[in-house]
């Protein structure tokens, strides 16, 4: 699904917020902010934030129709989702979002099962150890350990991640490119690819659209735990010395997302490096739409289109 430009200075007006998204946000209007009660350097409020996030994911995405197989890969827990009908022999490694802090366990089971069924592929969802208990580089190291272990069984694979998971997937793709085992394709949904840049959409969409600018700042600080991100491509893949050789990649963004412009910048940088990069904009949606498919018809349609395009890339 290709949307219209929605960044500042675009030649088309800013789209109105989708009515289904508005209804969902209104339903959650009285709930605390995503990272309410949490603070860098502590675990205060983290358990409550994780429970709140998981409940919202179930509310907006429904329950998974099948339970996954939970297994170990490289010392990391992975949740294996098998499709109703297998169509491809490519493994899809899924890395969940939640600001490197939220979203573990069964919170993304419905999302991963939908991915498996839409692609007809086995999906291995990496259940990395989250911050703040395991700050950077812990989640990245877990992701890399799991992917490397899975490669011994599935030499052909693709990477899919949303939000923080998209950041981890982008770094993993660069690392595995350099190791000679790149994925065949990536789907990065509203990625945060740059800890150093300042983007207009953070201020433009600072409040009122589920993920807030304050949330972005808080989860980043919880993940970094004092680490200086400057010059570290393990945090900012956009700033890698070269993006050439990155796999064919779909970068999906949402118009009402603080991370929108950073996602656009990454897609454009990939294209400038000669990568088959598909920038897919969803001007009327918000951060989180990848998991809102049971509650928001427009999100359901967007995810279906993204998965159909990914299926084409995997089949090449």
Residues designated catalytic = 163, 257, 287
**Cα 214 from Cα 202, distance rounded (Å):** 9
Q: Determine phi and psi for 20, rounding to 5 degrees.
A: -65, -40
* Helical ranges in 185-255 per DSSP H: 200-204, 213-224
Alpha-carbon gap, residue 29 to 207, rounded angstroms: 12
Distance between CA 220 and CA 262 in Å, rounded?
14
Give 69's strand partners.
80
CB-based contacts of 178, cutoff 8 Å, min separation 6 = none
122 phi, psi to nearest 5 deg: -70, 130
Q: Is 253 left (phi over 0), alpha (psi -120 to 50) or beta?
A: beta
């Amino acid at each position: 699904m290709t949307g219209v430009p929605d960044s500042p200075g675009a030649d088309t007006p800013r789209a109105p917020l989708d009515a289904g998204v508005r209804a969902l946000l209104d339903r959650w209007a009285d709930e605390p902010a995503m990272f309410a009660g949490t603070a860098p350097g502590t675990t205060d409020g983290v358990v409550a934030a994780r429970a709140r996030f998981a409940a919202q994911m179930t509310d907006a995405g429904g329950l998974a129709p099948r339970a996954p197989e939970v297994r170990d890969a490289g010392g990391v827990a992975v949740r294996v989702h098998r499709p109703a009908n297998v169509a491809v022999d490519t493994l899809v490694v899924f890395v969940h979002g939640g600001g490197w802090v939220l979203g573990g366990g069964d919170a993304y089971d419905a999302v991963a099962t939908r991915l498996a069924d839409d692609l007809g592929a086995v999906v291995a969802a990496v259940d990395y150890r989250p911050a703040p208990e395991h700050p950077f580089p812990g989640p990245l190291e877990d992701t890399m350990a799991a992917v490397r272990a899975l490669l011994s069984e599935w030499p052909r694979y693709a990477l899919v991640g949303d939000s923080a998971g998209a950041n981890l997937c982008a770094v993993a793709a660069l690392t595995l490119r350099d190791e000679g085992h790149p994925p065949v394709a990536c789907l990065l949904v509203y990625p945060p690819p740059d800890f150093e840049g300042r983007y207009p959409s953070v201020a433009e969409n600072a409040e009122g659209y589920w993920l807030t600018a304050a949330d972005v700042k808080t989860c980043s600080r919880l993940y970094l735990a004092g680490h200086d991100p400057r010059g570290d491509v393990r945090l900012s893949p956009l700033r890698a010395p070269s993006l050439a050789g990155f796999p064919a990649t779909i970068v999906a963004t949402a118009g009402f997302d603080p991370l929108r412009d950073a996602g656009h910048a990454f897609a454009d940088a990939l294209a400038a490096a000669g990568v088959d990069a598909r920038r897919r904009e969803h001007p009327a949606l918000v951060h989180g739409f990848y998991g809102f498919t049971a509650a928001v018809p427009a999100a359901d349609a967007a995810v279906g289109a993204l998965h159909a395009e990914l299926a084409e890339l995997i089949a090449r």
